[in-house]
Structure formats: structure tokens, C-alpha cells
Amino acid sequence: MTAPRAAPARQQPMSGWSLLLWIVGAAAAFLALFYLITFVLRQMPDPIGPRADLFVQGAKMTLQLTVFAGVLGLVIGMLVGIMKTSASALLRAPASLFVWLIRGTPLLVQILFAYNAVPASFYAPAQKLLGSLGMPVPDEFLPAVLALALNVGAYNAEVIRAGILAVPKGQTEAARSLGLSAGQTMNTVILPQALRIVVPPLVNNLVALLKDSSLASTIALLELSLAGNRVSSESFMPVPVLTTVAAVYLALTTVMTLFTDQLEKRVKIASR
């Protein structure tokens, strides 16, 4: 008679401390990546080696754009996604108009509009706040963040709306029968379950955002693509420059994917 097989140890869901550790680990990994990129590029022949610091500066700006726009885009997506599932037409109409407008126009046009049409005074408070926190940014940074955040926010909104609709209606009915208000039901019952469902597509949007940030070069923001264009224009050697830019993008997306995959796995465990 065989002995019963021991049940596998159950992993614990991601707690607040685990999430903080995940964030610190991701920050440390990107910091190490930048040191590695700097070391490797400096060993390369002209035109890459002498201009290695320019590539690293552009890569750091690309990551900053992704982080700022990604966080803001997630907030926008949650608000607009919830509004699109509202029973009130007064909330659904502007949310639907926003998604239609953003998804129906090119990101390039949105970036140019945010830079040329929105007055500089609109960005002044945020730029002053970042400067007071020891994070001075060029004038082109905040328009690029705004356009990228609105763009990814519109796509996030559709993802979150789909996640909310995927939660069984019985969950809402059970919560309301217990005396929870509509807002409490959404915040404590529906939205946590919906976010677990939509983590994979939200992660895909974040990775796409990192690559889409290259369009910020059109407003002369020194991110990775513009750094490559400048080196290519100076050296007249586009092949090694573009290969280097592609390799740096690949390194950034690889590290980001490694950590977002871990987050996705922990969220799946928490939903069991």
C-alpha cells in the first residue's frame, strides 16, 4: 500500500511587503542594467564607444518616460474603465468619447499636440514639484508623459472595462445584499477581482509603452531613439548605431518582462 502523496506547499499571495520588495528588486535590476550597458558600450569601437554615455542617458530617459506615463496611464485607465461600466450615461458618454478620440488618432499627433498646443503654464506646477524632489526634467518631458499616459490610459480603460464585465454578476448582487453601496462594491469586491484578471494585458500595454516612448524624439526629447539619431547623423554609420539602439531596447524590455512576469504569477496565486 503506497503512502499518500504530500500536498504541495501553497504559496502565499503577494502582500504589501512583497510588492515593495518587488519594486525595490526591479529598481536594483535596472540600475545594474545601466551599469552593464555603460560598461559594454564603452568597450565598443567608434562610433559607439566614445558616445556610450549618450546612449545610457537616452535609455534612462526612456525608462523614466515609461514609469511616469505607465503609472499615470494606469490611474487614467482605472477611472475611465469604471466610468464606462457605470449605469449613468453622464459618466459613460465622456469616457467613451475619450477612448474613441485617443484610440482613433495617432500617438505621434497626440505628442505634438501636447507639446505645441498645451500651454507651458499647465506643466509648470508638476515641473516645479519634480525639481523640488531633486528630479529636474527638460521642458519636453512632461508633454511626452502626458501624451503617452493618455494614450496608454485609453487602452488600459478598455482592458479594465473588460475585466470588470468578466466578474460574475452574482458578486455584485451578493455584495449589495450585504448592504454595501455601489462604490463599496466596486472598490472592495469587483475591482480587485477585475485587476487580477487583466494583469497580463496591462503588462503588455506597459511593454508596448516602453517602445512607443521612442516617438518622444519628435519633440526633441533626448531619449534612446533620438540619442541614436544624433550619433548616426554625426558618424554617418547608421547600421552599428541602430543595432546598438535595438539591443538596448531589447535589454530594457527583457528586464521589464522578467519582473512583470513575476508580478503576474504572484497575482494569479493570490486569485486562487
What is the set of domains in the chain, with CATH numbers?
55-270 (1.10.3720.10)
85, pLDDT greater than 70: yes
Distances (CA, A) of 120 to 48, 52, 117, 127, 248: 35, 32, 9, 10, 32
Q: Which residue has the higher pLDDT, 114 or 184?
A: 114
* DSSP letters spanning the chain: -PPPPPPPPPPPPP-HHHHHHHHHHHHHHHHHHHHHHHHHHHTSPTTTGGGHHHHHHHHHHHHHHHHHHHHHHHHHHHHHHHHHT-S-HHHHHHHHHHHHHHHTS-HHHHHHHHHHTS-HHHHHHHHHHHHHTT----TTHHHHHHHHHHHHHHHHHHHHHHHHHHS-HHHHHHHHHTT--HHHHIIIIIHHHHHHHHHHHHHHHHHHHHHHGGGGGGGT--SHHHHHHHHHHHHS-HHHHHHHHHHHHHHHHHHHHHHHHHHHHHHHHHT-
pLDDT per residue over 215-238, tens digit each? 999 999 999 999 999 999 999 999
Inform me whether the pLDDT recorded for 8 exceeds 80: no
Kindly tell me if the per-residue pLDDT of 263 is higher than 80: no
State pLDDT tens for residues 103-162: 999 999 999 999 999 999 999 999 999 999 999 999 999 999 999 999 999 999 999 999
More confident residue, 69 or 191: 69
| pLDDT score, position 147 | 97
At 272, the pLDDT band (50, 70, 90 cuts) reads low
pTM above 0.85, yes or no: yes
| Better pLDDT: 185 or 122 | 122
